Amino acid sequence: MTNPRPQQPAHARAFSLLEMIIVLAITALVITAVYSLAQGTLTLADDVGRADRRDTRKQAFTTFCEHLFTSLPPNAALNLKTTQSGGEYLTQLELQNISSPFDGTPNCIVTLYTQGMAGGGMRLIISCQPISTNPLEKRDAKSAYHVVLFEDLLQCEWRVFIPATQQWATVWTEDTSLATATPTPVVANPAAPAPMTNQHPPLLELVMNQAGDESRRQVFWIAPSQALTLTLPGGVVPGQAVPGQVAGQPQVAVPGQPQAGSLR
């Protein structure tokens, strides 16, 4: 007679509730770790892309400023003022009688200024406004273009270099009446006084610090003021009539052609 097969206890036939809870907990931990790793990778890629776009924008702004400051016309006026608002220094750099950076319109006022933000920090804005040829017409702020260049700035300060004191200054003022006048060619005369032009500072400094980035200092060279001159050939004294020349008209030398009153 064979012995009957012993029956196994009920708890050995399936997983217990405690075992199921432990398995679910381990699965949740693995899923959480994988998700955190993927989220961190995506965040890192987004930060790298944002930093690359920020660097590209700053490099484009640097190139723009280099072209703007090195191509100032002789009768341009540069004005810089700095004000303090809520513990922040707000600067306004104004360039008068230059071409518009948007469409190339001549005789415009281009301003680079900072503006405080409600949540803290500041933004850098560029504006462009044409100069009216009618002196009786008032400046209309609505006709100006305003474009935000940077936001979330912690610092954005302009300074000019003064050679006489060998120091950087946050305020610079030039005669705007000279900028609004149209330059006319003048005859070169060593005895005559120099034409009235604004003497620009040689260097312009920008210190800018954006949130999430290190502070950067850039120095730009400014084109010197030069008067438009007209040199008379043959050492003729200015104001003296030249044989064969119509009174009131300047003598213009044409390459390859003899001048009036000269020997062939």
**CA distances in angstroms from 227 to 76, 135, 188, 204, 230, listed in the order given:** 11, 24, 10, 22, 10
Q: Across residues 227-232, what is the average pLDDT? A: 46
Which residue from 255, 252, 258 is spatially nearest to 187, judged by alpha carbons? 252
Residues of the chain with pLDDT > 90: what percent? 35
Look at residue 198 in the predicted model and tell me its pLDDT: 67
Q: Is it the case that residue 247 has pLDDT exceeding 60?
A: no
Report the SS3 class of residue 84.
Answer: strand
Distance from C-alpha of 79 to C-alpha of 99, rounded to nearest angstrom: 16
**CA 99 to centroid of chain Cα atoms:** 15
Look at residue 230 in the predicted model and tell me its pLDDT: 44
Look at residue 53 in the predicted model and tell me its pLDDT: 82
Task: Give the CA angle between residues 55, 59, 60 to the nearest 5°.
Answer: 120
Number of alpha carbons in the 13 Å side-chain half-sphere of residue 261: 12
Which residue from 111, 113, 114 is spatially nearest to 154, judged by alpha carbons? 114
Look at residue 128 in the predicted model and tell me its pLDDT: 93
**CA distances in angstroms from 241 to 173, 229, 255, listed in the order given:** 41, 18, 21
Cβ distance 125 to 135 under 8 Å? no
- β-pairing, 229-230 vs 186-187, is parallel
Residues of the chain with pLDDT > 70: what percent? 67
Look at residue 141 in the predicted model and tell me its pLDDT: 52
Among 56-70, 193-207, 240-254, the range with the most confident prediction by mean pLDDT is: 56-70
Q: Can you read off the two tokens belonging to residue 213?
A: 């980035």
- Give exposure, 18-54, as e/b (b: 16+ Cβ within 10 Å): eeeeeeeeeeeeeeeeeeeeeeeeeeeeeeeeeeeee
Whole-prediction pTM: 0.63
Task: Give the lowest-confidence range in 74-88, 132-146, 233-247.
Answer: 233-247
